[in-house]
């Protein structure tokens, strides 16, 4: 097993532990996400150092940091508007650090596809799909309505989804797809 395979495994392990904790508690701990970022930076340095010395090690850390930036761009925007939680954001940063930009973004895409399929299915199961779509439509149209005509949406009627398990699924799929590359 190569060091690259260990980084893939580490990304799956971090996402897996985060998925279990998120599913149970609704939170993803900082020690896990920051530990994942540090493991990604150090692991990529060792990978680069073993293949080409100190300069390649530094370049690998640069690629790992680029993964943090690339995998953080969209989640930061979503976090700012309340679309995802801080733990979800930090988990995607850790996946980016471990898998670098290309595979990290791939894992992130699979994660968003997973949540896009899971959330409506859950709402159908709970019998809340039409009400949630109505709330979403109200929130979208409120942007163009005058303030006095905006509809108030009760926060209790809004739905939330635990994103950690979807990140785990997306990371597993990306790891399987890219396992043979290295």
- Which residue's entry shows tokens 């293949």? 51
**Residue 182: predicted pLDDT:** 60
- Cα 75 from chain centre: 7
- Domain ranges for the chain, please list them: 3-112+163-181
**Residue 144: predicted pLDDT:** 78
Per-residue pLDDT 10s for the chain (182 aa) are 688 899 999 999 999 999 999 999 999 999 999 999 999 999 999 999 998 999 999 999 999 999 999 999 999 999 998 889 999 999 999 999 999 999 999 999 999 999 999 989 988 898 888 887 887 787 778 777 787 777 776 666 567 889 999 999 999 999 999 988 66
How big is the chain by its Cα radius of gyration, in Å?
19
CA distance 33 to 75: 14
**Residue 8: predicted pLDDT:** 95
Stated as kind and residue range, the H or E segment containing 113 is helix 86-126
Cα–Cα nearest to 37, from 105, 86, 95, 89: 95
**Residue 49: predicted pLDDT:** 95
**Residue 82: predicted pLDDT:** 83
**Residue 156: predicted pLDDT:** 62
**Residue 157: predicted pLDDT:** 59
**Residue 1: predicted pLDDT:** 67
CA distance 9 to 13: 6
**Residue 181: predicted pLDDT:** 67
Candidates 3.40.1000, 1.20.120, 2.60.40, 3.30.1370; CATH matching 3-112+163-181 = 1.20.120
């Amino acid at each position: 097993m190569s060091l690259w395979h260990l980084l893939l495994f580490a990304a799956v392990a971090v996402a897996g532990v985060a998925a279990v904790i998120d599913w149970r508690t609704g939170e993803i701990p900082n020690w896990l996400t920051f530990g994942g970022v540090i493991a990604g930076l150090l692991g990529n340095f060792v990978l680069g150092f073993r293949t080409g010395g100190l300069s390649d090690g530094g370049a690998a850390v640069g690629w790992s940091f680029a993964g943090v930036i690339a995998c953080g761009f969209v989640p930061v925007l979503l976090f700012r508007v309340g679309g995802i939680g801080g733990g979800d954001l930090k988990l995607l940063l850790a996946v980016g650090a471990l898998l670098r930009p290309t595979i990290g973004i791939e894992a992130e895409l699979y994660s968003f596809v997973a949540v896009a399929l899971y959330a409506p299915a859950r709402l159908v199961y709970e019998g809340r799909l039409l009400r949630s779509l109505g709330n979403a439509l109200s929130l979208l149209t409120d942007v163009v309505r005058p303030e006095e005509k905006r509809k108030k949406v009760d926060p209790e009627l809004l739905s939330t989804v635990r994103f950690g398990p979807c990140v785990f699924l997306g990371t597993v799929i990306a790891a399987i797809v890219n396992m043979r590359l290295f």
